Amino acid sequence: MQTGTLVTLTLYFVLMLMIGVYAWWRTANTAEGFLLAGRDLSPSVTALSAGASDMSGWLLLGLPGALYVAGLSAAWIAIGLTLGALANWILVAPRLRAQSEARGNALTIPEFLANRFPESALALRVASAVVIVVFFAVYTASGLVGGGKLFETAFAGLVPGGTGLTPYMLGVVITAIVVLLYTALGGFLAVSLTDVVQGSIMFVALVAMPLVILLGPGGGADLSAVDVPGFLSLTQGVTALGIISAVTWGLGYFGQPHIIVRFMALRRVEDMPIARNIAMGWMAVCLLGAVGVGLAGRAYAEQNGITVEDPETIFIILAELLFHPLITGFLFAALLAAIMSTVSSQLLVTSSSLTEDFYRLFLRRTASEREAVNASRVFIALVSLIAIVIAADPASEVLGLVAHAWAGFGAAFGPLMILALTWDRMTGAGAVAGLVTGAAVVAGWIALGWDRALPGMAEGLYEIVPGFAAAWLAIVVVSRLTAPGRPVRT
């Protein structure tokens, strides 16, 4: 292992912890400060925080790995995500910022929903908390899997004998501990400020890596030389069902609590267009960079006889082969930044929901601000432990874990948030029906294996499609049946 790489990574970890201490000093003593940074984020911080918390380890592992295997046809996911993110900034962001403050200064998504539908407040808060804890445990685990793969691929010699830890598990544990520390210390402000640093690192890495692969040593990689038919075709080998499954990833944006909560923390609604433009520009460059890593990485590996056993590690392999150890450390920091920015956001949203929608609702209604913040810190630690257990299997695929959690949130909360913000006739009973239906359909679809192969077919359909449609239908039907003038049952 190169000393320079370790030095760079150590400096990165220290910087993240220093930001956590700074945020703890600034805002972490009140619930609003800990959970939303006092609703005082600038447009640039909001934009980069939303982007970095969105683009987890799948951006540098899962997406390049999919393109490495399938070629440009795997880019449909990136296209769908770009369209979905833009629609989310336009449709949900300004409305949620304004309405969450107007409706009782809600600090969490479940609290906003409870204030929006007071007749079903308890049912919504409990159901929301359950969905958030279950799916975020899986989502957080996907990030820790990415940290494990980094250490397993690049730092196999780091683990001293007799510890009982594999390089993979050491990566999982170190990633979890660092994220746990700065998130528990500084809350939302720490998560947001580290997101800015991490988002900037990711941006630079995803611009530099494809350029070096294509233009670097030995004349660079020749994409046309890849021995895969239609490797550079957007439609080669892709069916209509496959395109639908890929593009509909974009639907998930409307229901991701760790992303849309950023909109609630923006300083002013009037700043939303600035934040949107920054976020979409950052996202477009990062996605193009990830596509370039996958495609150019395949070409470089074939030209130079490099064996890649796990395609999701192509970024790690090339970082070690093509760069000076200090720069390699920076690139590894970019991968950890993608992982940690998302994991920290997920831990904070999960702990805030457990604190506001369980602890203060059922156990300690009179809990002080400081007690609520300390409870959030305890929940952050507990969820981290659960995620470590889930991530313990080194055979886990980052993209697969992210896909299931993304679909679960997108179907459960997506239609609910859109209609809650735009449709006055929606009722509390309809909200509960949509939330439960979306989550249940996604879970059932996965359990039946229909995401891999539909009955009588060789190809499956991404579970967010039936889940989103069923949740939307449930909200509309139940809301019409329980509209004013009819009995409301929850």
Q: Is 441 within a domain?
A: no
Give the whole-angstrom CA distance, residue 200 versus residue 47.
12
Output the DSSP codes for 367-433.
Answer: --HHHHHHHHHHHHHHHHHHHHHHTT-TT--HHHHHHHHHHHHHHHHHHHHHHHHH-TT--HHHHHH
Top pLDDT among 95 and 335 is at 95
> What's the rounded Cα separation, in Å, for the pair 336 and 182?
14
pLDDT number for residue 217: 65
Q: How many Cβ atoms sit within 10 Å of the Cβ of residue 425?
A: 11
pTM of the model: 0.81
- Asked whether residue 27 carries a pLDDT value surpassing 60, the answer given is no
Range of the domain at 286: 3-397
Query: What is residue 30's predicted lDDT score, i.e. its pLDDT?
Result: 57
The H or E element that residue 126 is part of is: helix 121-154
Q: Quote the number of domains for the chain.
A: 1
Question: By C-alpha distance, which of 448, 108, 246 is closest to 440?
Answer: 448
Residue 3 φ then ψ, to 5°:
-60, -40
Domain harbouring 234, CATH code = 1.20.1730.10
Does residue 406 belong to any structural domain of this protein? no
Confidence of residue 1 (pLDDT cuts 50, 70, 90): very low
Give counts: helices (H), strands (E), the chain. Answer: 18, 0
In 282-381 the beta strands, taken as DSSP E runs, fall at: none
Quick check: is 262 in a domain? yes
Rounded to an integer, the average pLDDT of 160-166 is: 60
Q: What percent of the chain has pLDDT over 70?
A: 88
The lowest-confidence range among 8-22, 146-160, 456-470 is: 146-160
Range in 185-194, 248-257, 429-438 the model is least confident about: 185-194
pLDDT of residue 471: 96
pLDDT at 270: 86
Asked if 36 and 188 touch (Cβ cutoff 8 Å), the reply is yes
Q: Angle at CA 400, nearest 5°, toward 276 and 16?
A: 55
Mean pLDDT, residues 37-45 taken together: 69
* Range 275-301 burial, b when 16+ CB lie within 10 A, else e: bbebbbebbeebbbbbbbbbbbbbbbb
Cα distances from 484 to residues 314, 421, 432, in angstroms, run 57, 18, 17
Rounded to 10°, the helix 272-303/76-91 angle is 170
Please check the confidence at residue 172 and state whether its pLDDT lies above 80: yes
Residue burial 221-257, b: 16+ Cβ < 10 Å; e: rest:
bebeebeeeebeeeeeebeeebbebbbbbbbbbbbbb
- Per the CB < 8 A criterion, the answer to whether 337 and 198 are in contact is yes
Q: Is the pLDDT of residue 464 over 90?
A: yes
Distance from C-alpha of 416 to C-alpha of 419, rounded to nearest angstrom: 6
* 446 domain-assigned: no
**For residue 437, what pLDDT is reported?**
95
The per-residue pLDDT for 488 is: 44
pLDDT at 361: 74
Instruction: Answer yes or no: is pLDDT of 323 > 90.
Output: no
Residue entry with tokens 């790489």:
5
**Does a structural domain hold residue 440?**
no
Task: Check residues 47 and 364 and name the one with the higher pLDDT.
Answer: 47
Q: Average pLDDT of the chain?
A: 81
- Cα–Cα distance between 250 and 239 in angstroms, integer? 18
Decide if pLDDT at 415 tops 90: yes
Please state, in angstroms and rounded to a whole number, the distance separating the CA atoms of residues 162 and 213. 39
Residue 36 located in a structural domain? yes
Domain membership flag for residue 450: no
Task: Using the predicted structure, report yes or no on whether residue 271 has a pLDDT greater than 80.
Answer: yes
Q: What is the reported pLDDT for 489?
A: 46
Residue 454 lies in a domain: no
Report residue 251's pLDDT band, with 50, 70 and 90 as the boundaries: very high
Cβ-contact 206, 213 below 8 angstroms: no
